[in-house]
Amino acid sequence: MAETAYGPTSALVVVDVQNDFADPAGSLYVAGGDEIVPVINDHIAAATAAGALVVYTQDWHPEVTPHFADHGGVWPVHCVRDTWGAELHPDLTVGGPVIRKGTNGEDGYSGFTMRDPETGEETTTGLEAEIVAHGATEVVVVGLAFDVCVKATALDSLANGHRTSVPLEASRSVQLQPGDSERAAIELTRAGAVVA
Ligand code: VGL
Ligand code: ZN
């Protein structure tokens, strides 16, 4: 926490801190997801005090989507729009825009883009526009899950030309496969992110 420096040209992207991921009763609970909420709140407080943009993403799926295992995907049903599981965790400090992704049945791993699971077509969310409007050049990505949506969001941030860091203490991995967390850290570091 102390190592992450925030200023007016920073953007803190808080990825998918939602009940289904962050509450032990959630349908796709990420181990330790609840423990990092206060850590993330410390980042939010520091970012806000420094004049940084704080922006949130929310996985927001229809009931039926090829993202879910029942319909050809790999994940249990989670973050169905307008349900408890899709709500941001009640202890999370919310003080900034919320970007929803996956709304039309896309995979929506990255907070920046949504990829249609059938056609592969990519569309953008409003996240990059928020960052540009704030004049932010450095992006810090925290939240859930490190090896899925945090990774995808940080990779797109790098591709968009932002200096990008992922503080590990403010993120946890879902590990669909053992080793996913380590592989994600390597991939991010190779792409130019500061992962620490
Ligand atoms: C996520 C799996 C499926 C995430 C979203 O937020 O990391 N993981 N959908
Ligand atoms: Zn999802």
**pLDDT in single tens digits along all 196 residues of the chain:** 447 999 999 999 999 999 999 999 999 999 999 999 999 999 999 999 999 999 999 999 999 999 999 999 999 999 999 999 999 999 999 999 999 998 888 888 999 998 777 788 888 999 999 999 999 999 999 999 999 999 999 999 999 999 999 999 999 999 999 999 999 999 999 999 999 9
**77 C-beta closer than 6 A to ligand 1:** no
Q: Which residue has the tokens 């991010």?
A: 188
CA of 13 relative to ligand 1 center, distance in Å: 15
Residue 114: what are its φ and ψ, rounded to 5°? -125, 130
pLDDT value for 107: 80
pLDDT value for 116: 78
CA of 16 relative to ligand 1 center, distance in Å: 8
Residue 149: what are its φ and ψ, rounded to 5°? -80, -35
pLDDT value for 148: 97
pLDDT value for 108: 84
**149 C-beta closer than 6 A to ligand 1:** yes
CA of 39 relative to ligand 2 center, distance in Å: 23
21 Cα nearest atom in ligand 1? 6
pLDDT value for 106: 81
Instruction: Give me 33's structure tokens.
Output: 């997801």
Contact 87, 18 (CB under 8 A): yes
Total length of the chain:
196
16 Cα nearest atom in ligand 1? 6
